[in-house]
Structure 1
């Protein structure tokens, strides 16, 4: 992996799309700070910090047209619809009915019957079961939103990573082409010297091998360029070979090291951690609903109806019925108790998954910081080697 990509990885690990409720009781002990931090704030549109208009265009297009991200958005719409459907159970349901019937009576007499009615039913949420189920679906919708945000961040990171790799391969291809031209010129000189007896056949063979190796390097680099272009096309929602990618091979100037903040802030910012947190809340509300389901349920049914032989008299004779229903579990073979235990285990599972996600997130940031430090030292070492090579070349030219 190119050393230029490590700041990109670090930005991705710190990026977030929105602020969500803080976690006051994390299942793990968070460190007070990270091993290193920068001063550059992390923005929602973090890729703009590279000041690369081509990258900005690719990311915008991917966020609009990537099929996987669109599928994630449809999952979000589904989750919100489920939450709305469950919330509707908090309110009474009212239905209207109407009918007309023609009956044949004795002595060939026909009788017309008309009827209209309204009925309403409502479960009195004595123990909070219905509210808990509605809250659980709302929390799951929030988790799906966080998952969608995480998918958008991941997609933008893949776009940037692939684009920078493409730029690097283009630069490598240009360098390899210049090296091939140089090797061919040298081969021409050596063959000329060989023709007058100033070079050996081994010198010619070695130089021809260098030319062949340069050709192989160009072919390999061009193949990698094609693969990366196909990857970018799919990421922006297009078929490979059907998208016109921007030209250029110059890598942008790297921005400063992003501000890592403190681990507690990371927990609040990262969508994947927000998703895990919302799933804990949903599991907790499901547990509350399972406990409430062991208690009696009370519902009210109201109906208002009218029936008449003539449509003119239909709305004058109304019958009102009011009923209360109490349902209490007596014997269920331990089904409800088992559901409570299952819900408890699910909540504990979510808590531990959240704790593991927090630990993994902190590790990812620290690993990126370590790689950033190592690559920084490598760059300094390479700069020193270049200076030494220039000095050596200069002394050789002077001596000549």
Structure 2
């Protein structure tokens, strides 16, 4: 009976081991097909933005704000702390690959080999990572440290863009308020002329009411612009890590800045120049490590335990040379029945790995889309602003000419009212087109990774040194 049980156990164990002997494919970076060039144009191929891209706008105040945000923004600080968390988890994950050592003193302990009452000594244990379970887990944890580093860098790039965009929005709102104030002055001037003519009997009550309505509507638009400016300034204060109270922006107009030319490098290099893509690839590697670890967990494990110390019946004789004892024990354990937990965990990790690959592929395609859209927007905004500038000039000229003709009685006042509305609309459209051109430049910088590069691996080397992960 005993022999039959041993044979059955052996057959069952062999079946378990054989079932676990399927292999996990070695990790290979997800294959991507980069386009040969950009549809929006290949100007500047092989050239990438400077890492301090915001300096090209020519604003010392913007430069200072971005530096301040890089230091004080609370979300960015939290992202840096998450790197420390990931590094700590990596050290924990790598700990089982090393022996453990403990020491102790136990009075009244009965040793089977010596029958002694007192024992003092050390005990060490080590699990041989024969199938790479702990090595794969440590590799997955290191990949997540990398992902947290790239996550912070992606957040920093996004923060730089948000600070610049909010700064430009504030200046644009100030330009729009100045344009509106000029329109209000024009409307008030014409209203004064109509009142004078109304007293003289040469203007109708309808014309006076229409012009009063134009002036009131323009005045009503000004508080909305002022509120939007206040909200944008408060938002900028939060981005740089300050309280909104007392925070101010001294630059007055977008006209004080310049829009720098932005060139795009080769599409094939984009994968190394976007921290969000590097983060996604690190997540793929992390899940592959989890898959390898859960697969290896289905194999037998070998644990070596060694103990050494002093044992005696009396405390006074504990430290005599003859009290030394030592032992070493090895054990082999293999999972036989776990209710499907181990195989289920492996299937779960394999599915999560495939999910991360799919997410990475989608992120790559989205990155190429971002660059194409930003390139087209940059080109088309330049054309739009030229047309808006011409429309604004012609609207101002038409209003001036119609004002003269109305004063000479050549036309009725309705044409002047339409010209006023058109002048206000074209002036506002031009100001917003100028803002759109600045925003397009920011979006292109961000789509290109802001000049960031991990080609030499220096960011990860620095983190590995701080986290102490060289040993795995």
TM-score, normalised on structure 2?
0.72
Match of residue 60 from structure 2: 53
2:252 to 243, 248, 253: 248
1:267 to 266, 271, 291: 271
- Summarize the Cα distance change of 1:197–1:69 in structure 2 as closer, same or farther, 3 Å threshold: same
Alignment of 1:12-91 (within 5 A): 26-35=30-39, 36-39=41-44, 41-91=48-98
Match of residue 105 from structure 1: none
Cα offsets for 1:305-355 (capped at 9, x unmatched): 224533674363221111111111122233222222222211111111100
Distance 1:48 1:311 in 2: 78
Answer whether contact 1:123 1:300 (CA < 8 A) is retained. Answer: yes
Match of residue 105 from structure 2: 98
Match of residue 19 from structure 1: none
Distance 2:367 2:33 in 1: 13
Secondary structure at the aligned position of 1:345 is classed as helix
Match of residue 20 from structure 1: none
Alignment of 1:227-242 (within 5 A): 227-242=231-246
- Summarize the Cα distance change of 1:245–1:386 in structure 2 as closer, same or farther, 3 Å threshold: closer
Answer whether contact 1:34 1:261 (CA < 8 A) is retained. Answer: no
Distance 1:148 1:233 in 2: 20
Deviation at 1:98, TM superposition (A): 3.3
Match of residue 224 from structure 1: 228
Match of residue 11 from structure 1: none
Match of residue 306 from structure 1: 310
2:370 to 352, 364, 375: 364
Distance 1:372 1:315 in 2: 86
Deviation at 1:243, TM superposition (A): 2.4
Distance 2:316 2:48 in 1: 74
Distance 1:163 1:377 in 2: 24
CA-based RMSD: 2.7
Answer whether contact 1:98 1:116 (CA < 8 A) is retained. Answer: yes
TM-score, normalised on structure 1?
0.84
Cα offsets for 1:168-224 (capped at 9, x unmatched): 001111221222223222222221222122322222222211221121121111011
Deviation at 1:77, TM superposition (A): 1.0
Alignment of 1:1-400 (within 5 A): 26-35=30-39, 36-39=41-44, 41-98=48-105, 115-251=119-255, 252-257=257-262, 259-308=263-312, 309-310=314-315, 313-314=318-319, 316=321, 317-385=323-391
- Summarize the Cα distance change of 1:297–1:349 in structure 2 as closer, same or farther, 3 Å threshold: same
Distance 2:253 2:325 in 1: 83
Cα offsets for 1:92-128 (capped at 9, x unmatched): 1111223568xxxxxxxxxxx8643111111111111
Answer whether contact 1:132 1:285 (CA < 8 A) is retained. Answer: yes
- Summarize the Cα distance change of 1:239–1:392 in structure 2 as closer, same or farther, 3 Å threshold: closer
- Unpaired segments of 5 or more residues in structure 1? 1-22, 102-112
Answer whether contact 1:115 1:314 (CA < 8 A) is retained. Answer: no
Distance 1:137 1:25 in 2: 17
Aligned length: 367
